[in-house]
Amino acid sequence: MKVEFDITKDAANRQKHGVSLAFGARLFDDPDLLIVPTIRDADSEERYKAIGMVEKRLYTAVHVWRDEAVRFLSVRRSNKSEEEAYSRD
């Protein structure tokens, strides 16, 4: 899988959430990965949340697909509602 991200957003994500945007690729190793479309009128392209387990912790990666590449916009620990969605699925 080809991974893309903006280096400025990566620095901001590291500071805010303590993980790099590249870390998002690790979520895709989870066989129980949950992909949820996110719908916002302000977005100019289809965004998705990937919710997956890495080292016994749930993380969420907001991303878009650009051809064959996944472009990460945000990666962070999952919130309560994301944890519940992952557990239900």
Residues 48-73 have a mean pLDDT of 96
Q: What is the distance of C-alpha 5 from the center of its chain?
A: 12
pTM confidence score: 0.91
Give the residue ranges of DSSP H helices in 1-89.
Answer: 7-17, 80-88
Confidence of residue 17 (pLDDT cuts 50, 70, 90): very high
How many Cα atoms within 13 Å fall on the side-chain side of residue 83? 9
The predicted pLDDT at position 44 comes to 73
CATH number of 2-88: 3.30.2310
% of the chain beyond a pLDDT of 90: 85
